[in-house]
Amino acid sequence: MKPVYQANSRLDLSFTRVVDVPRALVWRAWTEPALLKPWFCPLPWTTIDCEIDLRPGGVFRTVMQSPEGAQFPNQGCYLEVVPNEKLVWTNALLPGFRPSLPAATCGSEDANFMFTAMLELADDAAGTRYTATVIHADEAGSKKHAEMGFEAGWGAALDQLVAMLKRGV
């Protein structure tokens, strides 16, 4: 039985864009640590470390660094992996589906909300239709993430991903 996601506008943040790069390259940029690190955080933030075990229950871990040098480790667990189509992961679970405790996320000391993120990729005549959705446990977490600049931040990261791919991988 396939998991069923039902959108909730009070709890979820989402955006869709069409980018003029091939879907297979976007997938690689999301699933290969060496390709993820250069674009994953909006500059001047950086991703200084990344670990990916691309399977349900596998680790998705990043360490973001602020311009001042503060480091923010983020660890989660993949829930669903459909090659070149869909990635679903959460910070509510650690690798092996072990429950997690709330911790600072998204590069902010006061952002300790749990979320599930979903990336969906599809072919488009102009390249790739890219949809990013973040599902929150409560309205407070969704509001906090929106106030932190979810769409602008994820959009800037996507712009960096596209620019990297256009330079060649």
**Does some domain include residue 8?**
no
What pLDDT was estimated at residue 101? 82
Assigned domain for 105 exists: yes
> Is residue 76 included in any domain, yes or no?
yes
The Cβ-side half-sphere exposure at 64, using a 13 Å CA radius, reads: 20
- Specify if 136 maps to a domain: yes
Domain that includes residue 79, residue range: 15-167
Q: pLDDT, tens digit, for every residue of 27-86?
A: 999 999 999 999 999 999 999 999 999 999 999 999 999 999 999 999 999 999 999 999
The model's pLDDT over 81-102, given as tens digits with 9 standing for 90+, comes to: 999 999 999 999 999 999 988 6
Residue 104 has pLDDT above 60, yes or no: no
pLDDT at 5: 86
CA angle 117, 135, 158 (to 5 degrees): 45
In a domain, 82, yes or no: yes
The string of DSSP letters for 33-65 reads HHHHTTTSS-TTSEEEEEEE--STT-EEEEEEE
pTM here? Answer: 0.91
Domain count, the chain: 1
- The answer to whether position 133 is within a domain reads yes
What average pLDDT does this structure show over 120-134? Answer: 97
Whole-number mean pLDDT of the chain? 92
The tokens describing 95, both together, are 């690798």
Average pLDDT on 98-124 reads 78
> Does residue 9 lie in a domain region?
no
Which CATH number is 65's domain given? 3.30.530.20
Instruction: Look at residue 6 and tell me if it is in a domain.
Output: no
The share of the chain scoring above pLDDT 70, in percent, equals 92
